[in-house]
A and B are shown apart, each in its own frame.
Chain A
Amino acid sequence: MTGQGNSGIKPKHQRLVLLVIALVALVGAGLLAAWALRSQASYFYLPSEIVAEAPAPDQGVRLGGMVEAGSIQTAEDGITVNFIVGDGEARVPVSFTGIVPALFVEGSGVVAEGRMGADGTFVADNLLAKHDENYMPRELEGMSTEEVRAQVEATLE
């Protein structure tokens, strides 16, 4: 391919430069859009966000965080569980009536769908278990539970 035009730039280089400019503009626009969506595109609020900016009492929201160790209590009716969801900064008591998912255990992640009650208790209609990024066999569990928990909490902050 030989250079054409007065500038002497090869067409192929001209196309490359134009495309790179277009791609930079495109990626910039995409990143700006993603940045603008930062809060809206989140699937749930953290306890500290809920506490700082309480949603309207009848507004459906999702609350996500760690189930605090030792906080799960089954009520007298046998199907209502009360527990505390925390993110290291704030703690929100949650009440849920129904069957909990298999991965719902103390010290693991949970996403509760529901609304904030007037007394500061989050009343959940639905519970989703959130798995962390760690995969390990049961035999190894006891060895590094603290390590795992520290890592899980680090990802939620």
Chain B
Amino acid sequence: MHGFANPARFLRLANWLTPLLLVSGIVVTVGALLWGFTSAPPDRLMGDSVKILFIHLPVAWLGMGGWTAIAIASLVELVWRHPLASIAARAAAVPGAVFAFLCLATGSIWGRPTWGTWWVWDGRLTSMLVLLFLYLGYIALSSALAREGSSSRIAAIFGLVGAINIPIINRSVVWWNSLHQPPSLTMGNSAIDPVYLYPLLTAVLGFSLLFGAVVLMRMRTILADMQAEARLRRKAMQAAEGI
């Protein structure tokens, strides 16, 4: 793992992996959505609005997956002091926040015709909103620390503590009576008919590839920023010595 402690080695990998993930992500996502939107029949109760599922579920999973990635990267940073860990955590925060927001937005649009309301304060919706706020707090904190040049350890602790919300989101519909339905997909079980399930899983794959591409792009940007700053500092020091 520490082989990638050298950013140059990581960049060599990222340089060819990023376009690969990006292009395959776009192709698979667009393909899955076209497949789902054109082939899936109306649901017995929800009609055509069932097709929001093809966006809502992948972005919900990735919204939670983003924070899981932050938590793992934070653990790696705190225990093994891996130099890329805090960069990976910062890179996953913005796409994670975007997906959490998209999950809330599509869920709200879906809730109006099916439930008869845009928003309710039930366990699932509330804990997902908390996740979005945690993301915003994490982004503000980690970028402030990076700007000051201080240690990112506080952000890593925040990333680990915030992870307690992930199992709460997952279990909210089981622990508490909620308006949101219980999970449709559990280990080895599906309550989703195959005509919806296959495009749905393809969309999950496509969105995941896109997520990975964005994380790699942001990691490269952060590394480039750090390099540019180091160069500026060096130049300033040389200029100061020259006086």
Contacts and interface: CB of A to CB of B under 8 A. Distances in A.
Interface of A: 12, 15-16, 19, 23, 26-27, 30, 34, 37-38, 41-46, 64, 101-103, 105, 108, 111, 127-141, 151, 155
13 contacts: A30-B168, A38-B175, A43-B122, A43-B176, A102-B116, A103-B115, A128-B115, A129-B116, A133-B183, A135-B53, A136-B43, A138-B41, A155-B182
B44 interface: yes
Interface of B: 40-46, 50, 53, 75, 78-81, 113-117, 120-123, 160-161, 164, 167-168, 171, 175-179, 181-184, 191-193, 195-196
B178 A103 contact: no
A133 B180 CA distance: 9
A-B residue pairs, 4 tightest by C-beta:
A101-B116, A43-B122, A137-B41, A30-B164
A133 B181 contact: yes
Nearest to B192: A135
A26 B79 contact: no
A121 B3 CA distance: 69
Contacts, number: 116
A131 B75 contact: no
Nearest to A155: B182
A64 B80 CA distance: 49
Nearest to B80: A12
Contacts of A41: 123, 175-176
Nearest to B43: A135
Contacts of A137: 40-44, 193, 195
A130 B191 contact: no
Contacts of A131: 45-46, 114-115, 181
B181 A132 contact: yes
B117 A128 contact: yes
A151 B189 CA distance: 13
B41 to A, nearest CB: 4
Contacts of B122: 43
